[in-house]
Amino acid sequence: MADLGVLTVAALMILGLVGGIGITALGPGGVLPTIGLFTLTGLSAPVVAGTAIVTHVATGLAGSAAFAKSGQLRAPDTRRTAIVLAATGVLGTPLGVLVNSSVSERVFGIMLAVLVTAAAVLIWVRDRQADAGESGRHPRAAAIVGLGLAVSIVSGIIGIGGPMLAVPALIACGVPVLESLAASQVQSIVIALVGSVGYATQGSIDWQLAALIGIPELAGVIIGWRIAHALPTHVLKNMLIVALLALAPYLALA
């Protein structure tokens, strides 16, 4: 682990905690540790992505277990969506790991900022439509495959688990908030496992930093799950929109 000051260590731990809360309460959140590692440590892009993505193995497992306990992953449609998303992670994540070394951080940050802003707008428009509202129906398998591949490729490049992009995309398709959060946790496990193997073979994981961020991040996942079940759906949607729009400029400037 790089020689970091006390304030930097504290900031990374706080970002891990808040990021974990965001993962299960909103979807976005997993990108916060990535941003912290990139802006506070001076590590290379592959090490930033590798160190961040390995923390999502534990958060994905914890999040999946939590949403299984609360019943969302026992629903057939949610389980089908989760399985398809997870399968796409096996194919898409290695591509993201390969692309990581050839895409500049600034260009990718701008692209990701555009994506999260678009996702926020989609959710806002759908939520404001007179007849909108959650349909309760999940997209067809082909649509989920396309969505999952896109999410896993981007996640492999930047070092996130997947819920940041998968949750708003699923909500925009009419999937209920809690079911979107639940399905994305399962995909996160696969993305994190495959991505971790890819970055580990390159020697691009700082295991001490991963533990420093991952332990508070794991605690945050449980807190976020409780928040997700305590707040009304429309409040979660509004919080998700605000979170996405707040993250966009940081991603563009990272």
Per-residue pLDDT in tens (0 to 9) along the chain, 254 residues: 657 888 999 999 999 998 888 888 877 777 788 888 888 888 888 898 899 999 999 999 999 999 999 998 988 999 999 999 999 999 999 999 998 878 777 777 787 788 778 778 877 766 664 345 555 678 888 999 999 999 999 889 888 888 888 888 888 888 888 899 899 999 999 999 999 999 999 999 999 999 999 999 999 999 988 888 887 767 777 777 887 788 788 777 76
Across 199-209, b (16+ Cβ under 10 Å) vs e yields: beeeebbbeeb
Q: Where are the domains of the chain?
A: 6-253
Q: Assess contact for 20 and 214: CB atoms under 8 A.
A: no
The percent of the chain in helix, strand and coil, each rounded to the nearest 5, is 80, 0, 20
Give the Cα separation of 234 and 181 in Å (integer).
15
